[in-house]
Structure 1
Amino acid sequence: MWLREYVLWEGEQMIKREKRRYLALEVAGEQPVDERTLLDAVQASVRKLFGEYGASKTNLKLITYIPEKRQFVLRCSHTMLEKVRAAIASITEINGKPAAIHVVGVSGTLKALSKKT
């Protein structure tokens, strides 16, 4: 069990793997939005609030996107979760059109997230 927390050896020290959080999100707005545009909007908001350094620490990745339901799942570093949520809350437009992104749920695993939403 303890081996799962370590990924590689570096010299004499082991490095712990990064913990992640998954956010279930929903887009509120009139225009259709694609995956790339959503991720760009979130990343731009993170950069605007926390700079390049803060954005690099978030390790954002789009996991799934369901355009019909306008829902998507985003993965980020557990240490940056609150900053990512703040950046998402500050989004007021996507591609120049009014829009908002709402956090539906947060979890440490995709399985638990699917149960919550």
Structure 2
Amino acid sequence: MQPPIHAIRSTESYQCSFSSGIAVSRSPAWQRNLYKETGLPSGQREEEARSSSLFPAGDCLKRMIPSLRQKKRYIVFEVSPEGFSAEQVHRCVQQSSNALFGSIGTAKMEPRLVAERYAQGKGIIAINHPYAQEGILLLSSIKDIAGQPASVHTLKTSGTIKAAER
């Protein structure tokens, strides 16, 4: 069991003291926020954050290590008739996912069209591993794309893009 934390707020920093006598001081969250509206692209914001005195070294957001990332399943599908752009298919997949599973289910599934692999009516959708069956259901439920009747058939499911392309 962890010792209780008592937070004391001051205008310049937060000070957390544990019952064991250890005290930790940090700047307020609004000063460390990398994503506040600054009008700068994210790369410049992060660079500015690293060089700023408000952001001590190592206080920036880091990428998630590979062992903690969700595994993906890649579902190969075919759209008939051909002639739809990758953007139209992606928008249709997102709308269908929201209609079937809601915004929380869509966020858990993370359906994403691998746009550079979409050509001549065939494409690949990346889905989080535990939701592969829901992804197949999602694709088979699509009846029209951009207001035109269409059908989507799943061809194959794979754990890697390379195997999906074969």
TM-score interval, normalised by the smaller of the two chains? 0.7 to 0.9
| Cα distance between partner residues in 1 of 2:99 and 2:81 | 21
Q: Mind listing any 5+ residue stretches in structure 1 that lack a counterpart?
A: 1-5, 9-14
Runs of 4+ residues over 4 Å off in structure 1: none
RMSD of aligned alpha carbons: 1.7
Q: With structure 2 as the length reference, what TM-score do the two structures score?
A: 0.57
Code of the residue aligned with 1:86 in structure 2: it is: L
Look up the SS of the partner of 1:44 in the other structure: helix
Q: For residue 16 of structure 1, report the CA deviation from its aligned partner.
A: 2.0
Shift of 1:72: 0.7
Q: Shift of residue 62 of structure 1?
A: 1.7
Determine the C-alpha separation between the residues in 1 that align with 2:100 and 2:140. Answer: 11
Distance in 1 separating the partners of 2:164 and 2:149: 28
How much does 1:100 deviate?
Answer: 0.7
Compare the two structures and name the one with the higher strand fraction.
Answer: 1
Query: Does 2:41 correspond to 1:41?
Result: no
Which residue identity is paired with 1:98?
A: P
How many residue pairs match? The answer is: 101
Unaligned runs of 5+ in 2: 1-63
Contact 2:74 2:161 in 1 (8 A): yes
1:16 matches 2:74? no
Per-residue Cα deviation, 1:59-98 (whole angstroms, up to 9, x for no partner): 12221211xx311111110111111111111111111111
Q: Does the alignment pair 1:87 with 2:145?
A: no
